[in-house]
């Protein structure tokens, strides 16, 4: 049985700048709002006109394209902002959500400063797709973009993130994944790691394990395609259980289990649901 799709909301978008997410591999991941904006906007600013041209061809949309990358001179952004005062200007990147390890930050900042309305048309984003399927704590995560290419800089970046009590999310490339995993294995041999590859595509996979086991796997089977690398937070065991109980007991003096768990989670970085279960136990003692 074929299902009726909801109709695309009618209406020409108001003037302004529209930040439009596009698919990260599976062309079906374009949203109805994105299609509406793309077919009615007066101009599309994009990283690579050939890449965006292909997407528009697939959607059967003809539009004016203007190249915009991080190296564009300020006059190009000023012109786009000027056009967004009287018409809808869309900003697209090659794939996924613009500004997420992609150009657009300066344009958005300057458009807002100029009083131009900036509207998000959300959709696919590899970092979010990765965190959604990795099975690592998702209540708190830190997106850290691409790791540096050089060994020393990569190590320093990782060391700078050692204390972060959250899942770390990186973008990575297939040729570099093994070296990055080896660097992580050296610093954090115990942590749970996930490699989410080719998300939304035919050969999507998400492999989990220690960094050393994943490095061994990818050294033996060099991967292809695009990768999100996720590293679980420091072990909860680092905070002694007795201390956690003391913190929870103190918090339970003037708060219910939910609020107490929230407060201790904030202070320690320990998963809130684990703390909530323990707070219920302590309250029942």
Tell me which residues touch ligand SAM (CB under 6 A). 24-25, 93, 95-97, 100-102, 125-127, 171-173, 196-201, 226-228
Distance CA 129, CA 277 (A): 28
Give residue 124's region: left, alpha or beta (phi > 0; psi -120 to 50).
beta
User: Shortest gap between Cβ of 145 and ligand SAM (angstroms)?
Assistant: 8
Give 250-274 as a DSSP string: HHHHSS-HHHHHHHHHHHH---HHH
**124 or 251: CB nearest ligand SAM:** 124
**196 or 275: CB nearest ligand SAM:** 196
C-alpha dist (Å) from residue 244 to 95, 167, 266: 43, 20, 12
User: Shortest gap between Cβ of 194 and ligand SAM (angstroms)?
Assistant: 11
User: Shortest gap between Cβ of 143 and ligand SAM (angstroms)?
Assistant: 10
**39 or 204: CB nearest ligand SAM:** 204
**42 or 200: CB nearest ligand SAM:** 200
Specify burial of residue 204 (Cβ count, 10 A radius: 0-12, 13-18, 19+): middle
Closest residue by Cα to residue 46 from 97, 82, 93, 84:
93
User: Shortest gap between Cβ of 164 and ligand SAM (angstroms)?
Assistant: 19
User: Shortest gap between Cβ of 188 and ligand SAM (angstroms)?
Assistant: 20
Give the residue closest to ligand SAM by C-beta: 96
**42 or 101: CB nearest ligand SAM:** 101
Closest residue by Cα to residue 37 from 57, 48, 22:
22
**Tokens at 170, concatenated:** 């990186």
């Amino acid at each position: 049985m074929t299902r009726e799709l909801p109709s695309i909301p009618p209406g020409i978008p108001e003037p302004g700048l529209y930040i439009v997410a596009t698919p990260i591999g599976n062309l079906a991941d374009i949203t109805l709002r994105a299609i509406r904006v793309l077919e009615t906007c007066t101009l599309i600013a994009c990283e690579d006109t050939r890449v965006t041209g292909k997407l528009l061809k697939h959607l059967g949309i003809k539009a004016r394209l203007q190249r915009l990358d991080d190296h564009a001179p300020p006059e190009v952004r000023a012109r786009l902002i000027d056009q967004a005062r009287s018409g809808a200007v869309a900003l697209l990147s090659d794939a996924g959500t613009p500004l997420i390890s992609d150009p657009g930050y300066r344009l958005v900042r300057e458009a807002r400063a100029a009083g131009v309305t900036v509207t998000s048309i959300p959709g696919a984003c590899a970092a979010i797709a990765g965190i959604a399927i990795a099975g690592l704590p998702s209540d708190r995560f830190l997106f850290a973009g691409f790791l540096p290419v050089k060994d020393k800089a990569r190590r320093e970046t990782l060391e700078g993130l050692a204390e972060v009590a959250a899942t770390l999310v990186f973008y990575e490339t297939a040729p570099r994944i093994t070296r990055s995993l080896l660097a992580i294995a050296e610093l954090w041999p115990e942590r749970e790691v996930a490699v989410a590859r080719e998300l939304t595509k035919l050969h999507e996979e998400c492999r989990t394990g220690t960094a050393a086991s994943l490095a061994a796997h990818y050294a033996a089977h060099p991967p292809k395609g695009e990768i999100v690398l996720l590293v679980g937070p420091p072990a909860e065991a680092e905070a002694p259980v007795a201390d956690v109980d003391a913190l929870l007991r103190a918090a339970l003096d003037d708060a219910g289990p939910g609020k107490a768990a929230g407060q201790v989670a904030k202070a320690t970085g320990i998963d809130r649901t684990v703390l909530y279960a323990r707070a219920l136990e302590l309250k029942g003692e």
